[in-house]
Structure 1
Amino acid sequence: MKKAAVWLICFALVLGKSNVVAAHLPHVIEKAVTVVKRPEISQAFYADLEGEAEIYRIVSARDFFLHVGLLVPDLPHMRKDFLVEILSRKEDKWEQLSLLDGNSHTWNKFFEPFAGDRYWQGPEISKQVQAGEYLVWVSNPDNEGKYVLIIGKKDSFKLSDLLATIKRLPQVKLFLAKNPWTAYFNLMGLFILLAVSAGIAIILLLYRLVKAKL
């Protein structure tokens, strides 16, 4: 059991060195307006335009580093003509902060090793912004098609985020037209297996230590 804990630590270090652990916290979106919490944390919003544009609202009480990027699943007949308009509220009006145009961008294939999925990588922007309210407006001429909106770049190592990722991965696989059971046949599944083994080892070790003192 002690070996499992050692292997978990070693595996986590390897993931960190290879940037695999920097996987985005996933969200599967089913509504037109989404409030983005903790916009500096790396998050992926999986969505499908169904006749209307989709809006992501950010409100921050402090200055923060804004990163917005666009991915499209590497599936047949996926469209890439998305527009991502980023608006900043100035007093009583909205001003355009940036515009990401999928039509004018050269898309490149991208493999995400942590979950084992393939995407087309589109335009992105990163910049320091002031505290305030922002809107990220995603659309295309017909308001149809699947996309993944990336917001934030900072890695999160909170246990709650890890558990949320584990829970949502089957939904992500369904979004990507895959069997949900494949959600854990990858580095994520190996990490979970090692984490569970290490957790059991730690519990047993603590139990033995407490029992020895009684």
Structure 2
Amino acid sequence: MLKIPNINSGLIALIFVLLLVSISMANAHQPRLDIGTSVSIENPIMVDDPEISKAFYGELDGKPVYYQIHSPQPFQLYVNLLVPTSPGQGGELVSAEVTDSSGEMIMFLNGTNSTWTPYFEEFGGDYYLKGPEATLNVPAGTYNIRVFNTQNQGKYSIAIGKIESFPANEAISALFTLPLLKEQFFSKPVSTLFFEFLGIILAMGSLMTLLTLMVKSRKSDELTSITFLVGGILTPLLWIGTIITTLVWAGVIYQNPKNILGLFNSLILMIILILTWRVNSKTRDAGKEKLPFISTFILVILWWIFSLLAITVT
């Protein structure tokens, strides 16, 4: 009798996380949403690991916003300012002042007298003006960053740190942060974004797991049998993710039927549905047919393209 090893559910979860990490790398800043947070010079937003790249999204509401860095060792301080210019968003320019523990200013990013350039963030599909940036090697100590403008009004983003890092816990956190960011910072519907992310993760997580097993199955007939077995488990998840995504996408296109990029993505989704049926029919039970490696590989590529375009359009 063929012995089927126990398929660790943690492996599937790991693939899901790795998938999210890969997608999130399109936006290498770790996102931090601070809108609605009560902030003052006595109660600043704390910045951990200041050399790790993070993007803090906030809003000036009549007073400056303060950030604080406490480092027990010397580090390279990098700061960059952005303001959103996506439809419905204001473009009020901001400045930032960095002081050390004695109150001496060590860095000043003057938003008023700087050149701001248009910047499109590919992952979120949002538009910004990218403003002043500065880098400074500083000794160990405590540093305060004050973000402000003349009226202390408007939304902004401040990037701190240059080292791109997206560990698994950040990937999981981003799953919840990004939809909220879209709703609270860019005024986009969180329910639509949540279900879109959910459908994409279910579909792509299933596919990535299946494709990995297909690659390994070439080594032995035993692994091929395991792949058929796991395929029968994963294909329902693949269909659930695909159906959720299709329904959400239909609503997005209904609200904006003249979006050319959206219509092109709809065509990709139709091809995805056809290929999903093909992959499902050939992996739902153990048979003598060859595993649909090429169809699965193409399906993964199409899902990547669809996902990046979908998040841009939404």
TM-score range, shorter chain: 0.7 to 0.9
Deviations 1:65-93 (A, max 9, x none): 2111111001456243322001112xxx2
Partner in structure 1 of residue 104 of structure 2: 95
The partner residue of 1:147 within 121, 142, 156 is 156
Secondary structure of the structure 2 residue equivalent to 1:163: helix
The whole-number CA distance in structure 1 between the counterparts of 2:201 and 2:139 is 37
Structure 1 unpaired stretches of 5+:
none
Aligned: 1:27 with 2:38: no
**Contact 1:115–1:183, Cα closer than 8 Å, also in 2:** no
Judging changes above 3 Å, is the alpha-carbon distance between structure 1 residues 199 and 52 closer, same or farther for their aligned structure 2 residues? Answer: farther
Task: State the AA in 2 paired with 1:59.
Answer: H
Partner in structure 1 of residue 204 of structure 2: 194
Percent identical = 32
Partner in structure 2 of residue 64 of structure 1: 75
Secondary structure of the structure 2 residue equivalent to 1:21: coil
Secondary structure of the structure 2 residue equivalent to 1:160: helix
The whole-number CA distance in structure 2 between the counterparts of 1:77 and 1:164 is 25
| Bigger mean CA offset, 197-206 vs 140-149 | 197-206
For the aligned residue pairs, the C-alpha RMSD in angstroms reads 3.4
Query: What is the CA distance between 1:177 and its match in structure 2?
Result: 2.1
Deviations 1:13-44 (A, max 9, x none): xx89xxx5352111111231200111111111
When normalised by structure 2's length, the TM-score is 0.54
The whole-number CA distance in structure 2 between the counterparts of 1:87 and 1:192 is 46
Secondary structure of the structure 2 residue equivalent to 1:98: strand
1:159-170, aligned counterparts within 5 Å?
159-170=168-179
In the alignment of these two chains, the number of paired residues is: 193
Aligned: 1:177 with 2:187: yes
Max Rg structure: 2
Partner in structure 1 of residue 48 of structure 2: 37
Secondary structure of the structure 2 residue equivalent to 1:69: strand
Structure 2 unpaired stretches of 5+:
1-14, 217-222, 230-314
1 or 2 for the larger relative contact order (CA 8 Å, sep ≥6)? Answer: 1
Judging changes above 3 Å, is the alpha-carbon distance between structure 1 residues 196 and 85 closer, same or farther for their aligned structure 2 residues? Answer: farther
Query: What is the CA distance between 1:150 and its match in structure 2?
Result: 0.7
